[in-house]
Amino acid sequence: MIPTNQNILVVDDHPINTDAYINLIASNREIQEIYFHKAIDCESASKIINQLEKRTIPLNAALIDISIPPFHKEKLLSGTDIALLIRNSFPDCIIIMLTMHTEPLLLFNVHKQVKPEGFLSKNDIDFETFPEIFKSIVNAENFYSPSINNSIQKLLRQTIKWDEYDTQIILCLEKGILTKNLSQYINLSLSAIEKRKATMKNQILDRKATDNELIEKCKLLKLI
Protein backbone atom coordinates (compact mmCIF):
# COMPACT_ATOMS: atom_id res chain seq x y z
CA MET A 1 0.00 0.00 0.00
CA ILE A 2 1.24 3.48 -0.85
CA PRO A 3 2.19 5.34 2.36
CA THR A 4 0.18 8.40 3.36
CA ASN A 5 1.46 11.92 4.07
CA GLN A 6 3.75 11.94 1.06
CA ASN A 7 5.52 14.84 -0.64
CA ILE A 8 5.84 14.36 -4.39
CA LEU A 9 7.69 16.64 -6.79
CA VAL A 10 6.57 16.70 -10.43
CA VAL A 11 8.88 18.45 -12.89
CA ASP A 12 7.86 19.00 -16.53
CA ASP A 13 8.05 22.10 -18.68
CA HIS A 14 4.57 21.37 -20.05
CA PRO A 15 2.02 22.20 -17.30
CA ILE A 16 -0.60 20.00 -18.94
CA ASN A 17 1.67 16.99 -18.41
CA THR A 18 2.35 17.96 -14.81
CA ASP A 19 -1.36 18.24 -14.05
CA ALA A 20 -2.07 14.94 -15.79
CA TYR A 21 0.48 13.05 -13.68
CA ILE A 22 -0.85 14.64 -10.50
CA ASN A 23 -4.47 13.83 -11.34
CA LEU A 24 -3.62 10.22 -12.16
CA ILE A 25 -1.67 9.73 -8.94
CA ALA A 26 -4.31 11.49 -6.84
CA SER A 27 -7.05 9.30 -8.33
CA ASN A 28 -5.66 6.29 -6.50
CA ARG A 29 -8.02 5.60 -3.62
CA GLU A 30 -5.25 4.15 -1.47
CA ILE A 31 -3.60 7.55 -1.28
CA GLN A 32 -4.41 10.03 1.44
CA GLU A 33 -2.79 13.39 2.15
CA ILE A 34 -0.33 13.71 -0.69
CA TYR A 35 1.29 17.09 -1.14
CA PHE A 36 2.29 17.82 -4.71
CA HIS A 37 5.01 20.30 -5.64
CA LYS A 38 5.10 21.44 -9.27
CA ALA A 39 8.08 22.79 -11.20
CA ILE A 40 8.56 23.70 -14.85
CA ASP A 41 12.33 24.10 -15.06
CA CYS A 42 15.60 23.54 -13.23
CA GLU A 43 15.35 26.82 -11.34
CA SER A 44 11.88 26.26 -9.89
CA ALA A 45 12.69 22.61 -9.12
CA SER A 46 15.90 23.46 -7.28
CA LYS A 47 14.10 26.11 -5.22
CA ILE A 48 11.49 23.61 -4.10
CA ILE A 49 14.16 21.05 -3.20
CA ASN A 50 16.13 23.63 -1.20
CA GLN A 51 13.01 24.85 0.62
CA LEU A 52 11.98 21.32 1.59
CA GLU A 53 15.49 20.55 2.81
CA LYS A 54 15.67 23.75 4.89
CA ARG A 55 12.31 22.95 6.48
CA THR A 56 13.41 19.32 7.05
CA ILE A 57 10.40 18.10 5.08
CA PRO A 58 11.15 14.79 3.37
CA LEU A 59 10.72 14.42 -0.36
CA ASN A 60 9.28 10.96 -0.89
CA ALA A 61 9.02 10.72 -4.66
CA ALA A 62 9.88 12.76 -7.73
CA LEU A 63 8.77 12.52 -11.35
CA ILE A 64 11.25 14.37 -13.53
CA ASP A 65 11.28 15.04 -17.26
CA ILE A 66 14.85 14.89 -18.59
CA SER A 67 14.42 17.83 -20.98
CA ILE A 68 13.58 20.92 -18.95
CA PRO A 69 14.96 24.49 -19.21
CA PRO A 70 18.34 24.91 -17.46
CA PHE A 71 19.34 27.07 -14.52
CA HIS A 72 22.80 28.20 -15.63
CA LYS A 73 23.52 30.17 -12.46
CA GLU A 74 23.59 26.91 -10.47
CA LYS A 75 24.93 24.82 -13.37
CA LEU A 76 21.75 22.75 -13.52
CA LEU A 77 21.27 21.87 -17.17
CA SER A 78 18.59 19.19 -17.25
CA GLY A 79 16.27 16.94 -15.31
CA THR A 80 19.25 14.64 -14.76
CA ASP A 81 20.97 17.37 -12.72
CA ILE A 82 17.78 17.87 -10.70
CA ALA A 83 17.64 14.14 -9.99
CA LEU A 84 21.25 14.20 -8.78
CA LEU A 85 20.42 17.18 -6.57
CA ILE A 86 17.60 15.15 -5.04
CA ARG A 87 19.88 12.14 -4.55
CA ASN A 88 22.21 14.38 -2.55
CA SER A 89 19.51 16.08 -0.46
CA PHE A 90 17.01 13.24 -0.12
CA PRO A 91 18.80 9.91 -0.63
CA ASP A 92 15.66 7.88 0.15
CA CYS A 93 13.53 9.66 -2.44
CA ILE A 94 12.05 7.45 -5.17
CA ILE A 95 13.01 8.98 -8.52
CA ILE A 96 11.09 8.35 -11.73
CA MET A 97 12.64 9.80 -14.88
CA LEU A 98 10.41 10.63 -17.86
CA THR A 99 11.45 11.29 -21.44
CA MET A 100 10.59 11.34 -25.11
CA HIS A 101 14.24 10.72 -26.01
CA THR A 102 15.36 7.45 -27.56
CA GLU A 103 19.10 8.08 -27.93
CA PRO A 104 20.90 5.16 -26.23
CA LEU A 105 23.84 7.22 -24.95
CA LEU A 106 21.61 9.83 -23.33
CA LEU A 107 19.41 7.18 -21.70
CA PHE A 108 22.40 5.16 -20.54
CA ASN A 109 23.93 8.29 -19.01
CA VAL A 110 20.79 8.87 -16.95
CA HIS A 111 20.74 5.22 -15.91
CA LYS A 112 24.38 5.31 -14.80
CA GLN A 113 24.30 8.66 -13.02
CA VAL A 114 20.88 8.69 -11.39
CA LYS A 115 20.05 4.99 -11.08
CA PRO A 116 16.33 5.87 -11.02
CA GLU A 117 13.80 3.53 -9.47
CA GLY A 118 11.64 4.18 -12.52
CA PHE A 119 12.60 5.20 -16.05
CA LEU A 120 9.67 5.77 -18.41
CA SER A 121 9.39 6.66 -22.04
CA LYS A 122 6.34 8.85 -22.53
CA ASN A 123 5.61 6.76 -25.61
CA ASP A 124 5.24 3.65 -23.43
CA ILE A 125 2.68 4.99 -20.95
CA ASP A 126 -0.89 6.20 -21.11
CA PHE A 127 -3.71 7.20 -18.76
CA GLU A 128 -4.52 3.56 -18.03
CA THR A 129 -1.04 2.15 -17.45
CA PHE A 130 0.66 5.04 -15.63
CA PRO A 131 -1.20 4.75 -12.27
CA GLU A 132 -0.34 1.05 -11.90
CA ILE A 133 3.26 1.60 -12.97
CA PHE A 134 3.62 4.44 -10.46
CA LYS A 135 2.06 2.31 -7.73
CA SER A 136 4.45 -0.58 -8.37
CA ILE A 137 7.51 1.70 -8.35
CA VAL A 138 6.65 3.35 -5.03
CA ASN A 139 6.07 -0.12 -3.62
CA ALA A 140 9.73 -0.95 -4.30
CA GLU A 141 9.37 -2.61 -7.70
CA ASN A 142 11.87 -0.89 -9.98
CA PHE A 143 10.56 -0.43 -13.51
CA TYR A 144 12.13 0.59 -16.81
CA SER A 145 9.64 0.84 -19.68
CA PRO A 146 10.21 -1.31 -22.81
CA SER A 147 11.74 1.26 -25.15
CA ILE A 148 14.07 2.53 -22.39
CA ASN A 149 15.20 -1.02 -21.69
CA ASN A 150 15.71 -1.78 -25.35
CA SER A 151 17.90 1.28 -25.91
CA ILE A 152 20.03 0.63 -22.83
CA GLN A 153 20.37 -3.08 -23.61
CA LYS A 154 21.49 -2.29 -27.15
CA LEU A 155 24.23 0.02 -25.95
CA LEU A 156 25.26 -2.29 -23.11
CA ARG A 157 25.65 -5.24 -25.43
CA GLN A 158 27.83 -3.11 -27.70
CA THR A 159 30.05 -1.79 -24.93
CA ILE A 160 30.31 -4.29 -22.09
CA LYS A 161 31.38 -7.15 -24.38
CA TRP A 162 30.41 -9.96 -22.04
CA ASP A 163 31.34 -13.41 -23.21
CA GLU A 164 29.91 -16.85 -22.47
CA TYR A 165 31.84 -17.12 -19.21
CA ASP A 166 30.34 -13.88 -17.87
CA THR A 167 26.86 -15.09 -18.74
CA GLN A 168 27.52 -18.46 -17.08
CA ILE A 169 28.66 -16.71 -13.90
CA ILE A 170 25.47 -14.65 -13.71
CA LEU A 171 23.21 -17.62 -14.44
CA CYS A 172 24.92 -19.78 -11.82
CA LEU A 173 24.68 -17.02 -9.21
CA GLU A 174 20.99 -16.61 -10.05
CA LYS A 175 20.51 -20.32 -9.30
CA GLY A 176 21.98 -19.80 -5.83
CA ILE A 177 25.41 -21.32 -6.45
CA LEU A 178 27.98 -19.73 -4.15
CA THR A 179 30.98 -17.98 -5.66
CA LYS A 180 33.40 -20.35 -3.93
CA ASN A 181 31.76 -23.25 -5.80
CA LEU A 182 31.49 -21.63 -9.25
CA SER A 183 34.74 -23.16 -10.53
CA GLN A 184 33.01 -26.53 -10.24
CA TYR A 185 30.52 -25.40 -12.89
CA ILE A 186 32.62 -23.03 -15.00
CA ASN A 187 36.02 -23.78 -16.52
CA LEU A 188 37.74 -20.87 -14.81
CA SER A 189 39.79 -20.44 -11.66
CA LEU A 190 38.16 -18.85 -8.63
CA SER A 191 40.40 -15.77 -8.94
CA ALA A 192 39.41 -15.34 -12.62
CA ILE A 193 35.74 -15.60 -11.66
CA GLU A 194 36.15 -13.00 -8.91
CA LYS A 195 37.83 -10.59 -11.34
CA ARG A 196 35.04 -11.03 -13.89
CA LYS A 197 32.39 -10.43 -11.24
CA ALA A 198 34.10 -7.23 -10.13
CA THR A 199 34.32 -6.02 -13.73
CA MET A 200 30.63 -6.73 -14.37
CA LYS A 201 29.59 -4.86 -11.23
CA ASN A 202 31.63 -1.84 -12.27
CA GLN A 203 30.20 -1.93 -15.77
CA ILE A 204 26.49 -1.98 -14.92
CA LEU A 205 26.39 -0.71 -11.34
CA ASP A 206 29.44 1.57 -11.35
CA ARG A 207 30.29 0.54 -7.80
CA LYS A 208 31.02 -2.35 -5.49
CA ALA A 209 27.90 -4.39 -4.96
CA THR A 210 26.58 -7.69 -3.68
CA ASP A 211 25.95 -10.61 -6.00
CA ASN A 212 22.22 -10.19 -5.46
CA GLU A 213 22.41 -6.56 -6.57
CA LEU A 214 24.27 -7.64 -9.70
CA ILE A 215 21.63 -10.27 -10.50
CA GLU A 216 18.74 -7.87 -9.93
CA LYS A 217 20.31 -5.22 -12.14
CA CYS A 218 20.87 -7.78 -14.90
CA LYS A 219 17.22 -8.78 -14.64
CA LEU A 220 16.07 -5.17 -14.67
CA LEU A 221 18.08 -4.50 -17.81
CA LYS A 222 16.92 -7.84 -19.26
CA LEU A 223 20.49 -8.98 -19.79
CA ILE A 224 19.45 -12.37 -18.45
| pLDDT tens-digit series, residues 62-80 | 999 999 999 999 989 899 9
Query: Using one digit for the tens of pLDDT, what is the confidence trace for 20-74?
Result: 999 999 887 666 688 999 999 999 999 999 999 999 999 999 999 999 999 999 9
pLDDT at residue 199 tops 80? yes
- Please state, rounded to an integer, the average pLDDT across all residues of the chain: 89
Q: How confident is the model at residue 162 (pLDDT cuts 50, 70, 90)?
A: confident
CA 76/CA 88 separation, integer angstroms = 14
Beta bridge partners of 6: 34
Q: Is residue 69 domain-resident?
A: yes
In this predicted structure, the answer to whether residue 2 has a pLDDT above a threshold of 60 is no
> What's residue 165's pLDDT?
85
Residue 199 covered by a domain? yes
pLDDT (0 to 100) of residue 30: 66
Mean pLDDT, rounded, for 171-190: 89
The predicted structure's pLDDT at residue 32: 65
Query: Is the same domain home to 133 and 23?
Result: yes
Among 102, 127, 151, the domain boundary falls at 151
d(CA 69, CA 62): 17
19 and 84 fall within a common domain: yes
Same domain, 31 and 120: yes
CATH classification at residue 97: 3.40.50.2300
| 75-89, 148-162, 185-199, range with the lowest pLDDT | 148-162
Whole-angstrom distance, CA of residue 123 vs CA of residue 101: 10
Q: How confident is the model at residue 1 (pLDDT cuts 50, 70, 90)?
A: very low
Is the model's pTM score more than 0.95?
Answer: no
| Whether residue 170 sits in one domain with residue 61 | no
Range of the structural domain that residue 174 is part of: 160-220
Residue 135 one-letter amino acid? K
Residues 143 and 175 occupy one common structural domain: no
Same domain membership, residue 143 and residue 76: yes
Do 113 and 174 share a structural domain?
Answer: no
Count of domains observed in the chain: 2
Identify the CA nearest to 85 among candidates 193, 9, 144: 9
Query: Residue 104: inside a domain, yes or no?
Result: yes
Does residue 1 belong to any structural domain of this protein?
A: no
Domain boundary among 109, 130, 151: 151
Report pLDDT digits (tens) over 109-152.
899 889 999 999 999 999 999 999 999 998 889 999 999 988 88
Q: pLDDT band at residue 207, thresholds of 50, 70 and 90?
A: confident
196-210 exposure pattern, b = at least 16 Cβ within 10 A, e = fewer = bbeebbebbbeeebe
Q: Are residues 121 and 172 in the same domain?
A: no
CA angle 91, 94, 97 (to 5 degrees): 115
